Amino acid sequence: MSRPVTKHLEIPAADGDGERYSLRMGPQHPATHGVLRVDLELDGETIVTCTPQVGYLHRGIEKLAENKTYAQSLILTDRLDYIAAMANNVGYCVAVERLLSISVPLRAKYIRTMVAEMSRICSHLLWLATHALDIGAMTVFLYCFREREILLDLFEELCGARLTFSYPRIGGVRQDVTAGFIAELQRFLDIFPARIEEYETLIDTNRIWLKRTVGIGRVTGGEALSLGLTGACLRGSGIDYDIRKHQPYDAYDLVDFEVPLGNDGDIYARYRCRMEELHQSARIIQQCIDRLPPGPIVGPDTPDLVMPNKAPARFQAETAAYGTGLVKLIRDQNLYLAGDVYVATEAPKGELGFYFVSDGNNRPYRMHIRSPSFIHIGALAAIAKGEMIADLIANIGSLDVVLGESDR
């Protein structure tokens, strides 16, 4: 960035309409949800310009993926949006499957849809918890974590990890669900609507919450589109865009759900949209449980870490040398078709896209991640301009940014 380095609270000469000063918020500010730095120029408490600075959590995930096989890169996607790692895993697998044109069995599709929606609930609960905490509602924070804990326990039961799941595999899922898991999930679904009711009792009509959210951070539908907002931030402005509905992947075209739309485009509308999405996600999970078909959980030609006996015919060239799947990096062999593909999925934060350029090797020539958080942070400058500094916190929370995903 070419902005001159300014000292904290450096006060330039008054330019007639009050004294302007610059302030750096973050990267250690607790309400920036990680390591976001926002350079502010303020006139009193009004924000004149707002420049978000990202990159404090850059790990070079896109570059790292170029030196790993498609199966190995899955673990990198856990570390994008670490609050909803399962949604990233699913998005990555869907993208690679489309690149290599691999079919997924129906059972795996349903399981994936189920876990992606569980992770959406996880993410929205954490969003509500921290967003409310930023604005000053402590109780909601604790109540949301209570339900999130149940889901994390379920994930632990399913795949052995609570944060970095690496659960789906290219062409299916890693482990089948058990009766115990389904029963526990059903118990969660039975209590969950009452729990959403609790959160709403606490803040939905609370006058402090309304004062902090209604009419703040207003984005019209057209602005939201031009800023590139996706997910609940776009739907809060009344634009009907949900990839699950419009370009269905996995089993989303087989389940019945609605896309909640707001009207006002302010923080309260986005909040209402996400709360409604919690209901819809629970509905999708319920349908997945009811319709879970029998069958295999991995497709016949998965290029994942296959067992020695299970080298699919399609990848014989690769497996011949080592007797196992895409474990070894083999350079300069044309295993796949060369080409590029962009596949977008609806992550809890918004449109999560994976763009692959393949030169035929078993690792991507280039992997680009279109992460919603990065785009949303970019939109922060336009949204926060002219508002109060205290509302910046509410705006950051409402855009639901995760810096792991933004900085990659």
Partner 1 sequence: MQVQYKPRRGWLGTIFQSEILQGMGLTLRRLFSRPITRQYPDERPQIRVGFRGQHALVRDPATGDCKCVGCMRCAMACPSRCIRIRSHKDKAPGSRRVIDSYRIEALRCVYCGFCQEVCPVNAIVLTEVFEYSRLERSSLHFTKEQLLANWDQFAAQLNMSDGYVNPCWRPRGLAERDLPAPKRLPVPPEWSGGEQVVGRQWRQHLPPEQS
Q: Of 312 and 397, which CB lies nearer to partner 1 in the complex structure?
A: 312
Q: What's the rounded Cα separation, in Å, for the pair 129 and 28?
A: 19
Distance (Å, whole) CA 90 – CA 81: 12
Quick one: which segment of 90-98, 172-180, 247-255, 353-361 binds partner 1 (CB under 8 A)? 172-180
CA torsion sign for 174, 78, 163, 259 is negative
Q: Does 103 bind partner 1 (CB under 8 A)?
A: no
How many chain residues touch partner 1 (CB under 8 A)?
A: 70
By beta-carbon proximity to partner 1, the closer residue of 47 and 239 is 239
Burial of 321 (0-12, 13-18, 19+ CB in 10 A): exposed
Q: What residues between 243 and 262 interact with partner 1 by CB under 8 A?
A: 258-262
- Nearest distance, CB of residue 331 and partner 1, angstroms: 14
Measured CA to CA, the distance from residue 111 to residue 392 in angstroms comes to: 38
Q: What is the largest CA-CA distance in the chain?
A: 78
Give the contacts of 394 (CB within 8 A, at least 6 positions apart). 131, 134, 135, 212, 213, 216, 217, 267
For the chain, the straight-line distance linking the first and the last C-alpha, in angstroms and rounded, comes to 18
Question: With respect to partner 1, which residue has the nearer C-beta, 248 or 378?
Answer: 248
8-16, 268-276, 347-355, 375-383 -> range binding partner 1 (CB under 8 A): 268-276
Q: Which of 118, 275, 119 is nearest to 201 (CA)?
A: 275
Task: State yes or no: residue 297 binds partner 1 (CB under 8 A).
Answer: yes
Q: Does 276 bind partner 1 (CB under 8 A)?
A: yes
Element (H, E) at 116: helix 106-135
Binding flag, residue 207, partner 1 (CB under 8 A)? yes
Shortest gap between Cβ of 287 and partner 1 (angstroms)? 9
Binding stretches for partner 1 (CB under 8 A): 68, 71-76, 78, 107, 139, 146, 149, 153, 156-157, 159-161, 164, 166, 173-179, 181-182, 198, 200-207, 258-263, 269, 272-273, 275-276, 288-298, 305, 307-310, 322, 324-325, 327-328
